[in-house]
Structure 1
Amino acid sequence: MNADWKAFLTDKGAVFNDNEEITTFGQPEIERFMVKNGPVITSLAHQALIKVTGEEAFDFLQGQLTNDLKDVSEQQAQLSAYCEPQGKVLAIMTVFKHQDALYLSFDGSLKQTILQRLTMFKMRSKVELEDVSEQMIQVGYAGDFADLDVQRLLSTKIKNIYEVEQVQDEALSDIIAIKLPGPYHCYSFFGPVEQAKSLWDTLKNNGEFTNTQDWNLIHIVSGQPQVNDTTSNEFIAQFLNLDKLNAINFKKGCFPGQEVIARMFYRGKATKRMMRLHLEEVLPLEPGETFKLMDEAEKKYKFTTVSSAPDIYEGTVCLAVTTLKPLESVQGQLKTENGAIANIEPLPYDLTED
């Protein structure tokens, strides 16, 4: 993380873990409660950001990622994935374009692994890969009325998901804003450290700080999967619902894992899917950790955690992958192995097969 930015956050009361994620700003109860409606602001500077340039940059990435880069412009970002040849997801990325360069934003724990892999496969292509995570600071802002805040405080209006705009405020003119999926209006901002500080102070006028874990609640309730160094290379793309999130283009041509992913799409259906669950007990589930639920006939059902966080009020909310077929025969109420009630909750998108 940029040392100047980290010092700025520390002065605001931020406490960091070994992954440079914010664990608290000193008021954990308020930080969690504020996520319910917002507005909340947090640092996402622990995330990786790779800049891709060169006359063959488009063709190179078009052959590596699951989505069609033809849909990416200075005004439109997209969700995409980077897979290995068997269709398992190595990283989930937000891809955007700025000043003719393409940018890949993804989980920071995967930065070196993904950068090395992309470097290996570019071979002699006229492509440059640069880690700009410390040069372009990422800030998150979200809330029921965050769209009005962005319009009023930053003179910037962004209407559609994955729409990209340069902030219109003259003092923040190097800041890029991207609207992301969420239970309410949600944004990521990218920009140089000094302007990121000014952005933070401006948004703080109408919002409250929150930590990384509570920010992740926004992704969980929205059914947005995250992949880190523990879950990388664990799940086929459809198991993470990436086809339902428009992160896969089945007509664009070849990319690593395309044969497996396309075969599942055209010839069959996904045997596993990512579900959203609410458990009426606090379970510290880590990404990749498996757990079992039991029905009233004492039949057990296995789930693998994608992401998890304590609920705002009580219990745990998580995204977890499970095999679909056994769920058809669930008898009665599902419970955890400790006897707490467990509910599979509806996602904000349809999981039914076409």
Structure 2
Amino acid sequence: MSIKLNRLIVAGKDAANFLQGQTTADINKLTFIGQVSAHQYGLSAICNRQGRVISLFWAIKVDDETFHLLLPESLAEAVQKHLTIFIFRSKVTITRDEPSEEDLKTLPQSLIIPWIIDENSEEYVPQMLSLDLLDAINFKKGCYTGQEIVARMQYLGKHKRRLAHIIADNAAELIVNAKILDENEKEAGTIVYSEGNEALAVIRLEHQDHSLKIHSPIQITKIWHDDEAEN
């Protein structure tokens, strides 16, 4: 993993209820693409009021009153401040430090998490990142910041932009926010996160069968799209 992560420790009697009101996943039933562990963990997001993703985080339930949130270092301080605004009278503390080796071992080994950093924070709604297909959104839980927008997007129908895994001929071109073009020089997508010659990108589905490039050619190896959603 090329990205440096920090850890937010959310602890206290009201920790679970507090996070439930701020995050897209059901913090009480954490899973990841259908996998359930003895120690619950999974992907979730924090959104702004417009339903745009401020940050993704990998949530680990340590016990009923303690949660570890792993997220990019570039956003950790801002997310900590954002969450602190909503504490009010909740019995919750939020501290920031380095993740433990035990925490890091719970992360997926393959490139599947479209980590958002400060350069593309608040650019995407969760469905553009296919978070609904990565068990990172629960549409049956209660309200959270941005929930109305996220729910409306889900029930409008099929999504026009989805997350894709790509491989590039030139790894140097896989920089955050780099534009992906089709053979007619029309914009087909945007790089979200990369490691080596692999990247995760938001792709316009109308272009998925076209020849794509940044400057050099790229190949789509997988798209997380609506056909994978449960009926």
Tell me the TM-score normalized by structure 2: 0.84
Contact 2:178 2:191 in 1 (8 A): yes
Q: Write out aligned runs for 1:63-102 (5 A).
A: 63-72=21-30, 75-99=39-63, 100-102=65-67
Letter in structure 1 aligned against 2:90: S
Would you say how many aligned residue pairs link Structure 1 and Structure 2? Answer: 222
CA distance in 2, matches of 1:309, 1:234: 20
**What SS does structure 1 have at the residue aligned with 2:28?**
helix
1:324 aligns with: 205
| Among 203, 218, 227, the residue aligned to 1:342 | 218
- Greater RCO (Cα-Cα under 8 Å, separation 6 or more): 2
Q: Write out aligned runs for 1:221-300 (5 A).
A: 223-287=112-176, 289-295=177-183, 298-300=184-186
State the 1:119 CA deviation.
0.6
1:196 aligns with: none
CA distance in 2, matches of 1:336, 1:267: 30
1:5 aligns with: none
CA distance in 1, matches of 2:171, 2:42: 34
CA distance in 2, matches of 1:337, 1:178: 33
Cα displacement string for residues 1-36 of structure 1 (whole angstroms, at most 9, x for unaligned residues):
xxxxxxxxxxxxxxxxxxxx97xxxxxxxxxxxxxx
2:10 aligns with: 52
Contact 1:284 1:309 in 2 (8 A): no
Structure 1's 341 and 138: CA in aligned 2 closer, same or farther, altered over 3 A?
A: same
State the 1:179 CA deviation.
3.3
**What SS does structure 2 have at the residue aligned with 1:93?**
strand
CA distance in 1, matches of 2:106, 2:137: 19
Tell me the TM-score normalized by structure 1: 0.57
1:115 aligns with: 80
Work out whether 1:128 is the aligned partner of 2:93: yes
CA distance in 2, matches of 1:94, 1:282: 26
State the 1:350 CA deviation.
5.3
State the 1:54 CA deviation.
1.9
Structure 1's 129 and 337: CA in aligned 2 closer, same or farther, altered over 3 A?
A: closer
State the 1:302 CA deviation.
3.2
CA distance in 2, matches of 1:58, 1:225: 24
Contact 1:74 1:98 in 2 (8 A): no
Cα displacement string for residues 94-122 of structure 1 (whole angstroms, at most 9, x for unaligned residues):
11122541121111111110000111111
1:30 aligns with: none
**What SS does structure 2 have at the residue aligned with 1:70?**
coil
Structure 1's 301 and 126: CA in aligned 2 closer, same or farther, altered over 3 A?
A: same
Determine which structure has the larger helix proportion and give its number: 1
2:71 aligns with: 106
CA distance in 2, matches of 1:273, 1:290: 16
The two structures, once aligned, show a CA RMSD in angstroms of: 2.5
For structure 2, the residue ranges without an aligned partner over 5 or more in a row are: 31-36
The sequence identity of aligned pairs, in percent, is: 32
CA distance in 1, matches of 2:49, 2:171: 37
Q: Write out aligned runs for 1:130-209 (5 A).
A: 130-133=95-98, 137-139=99-101, 175=102, 178-182=105-109
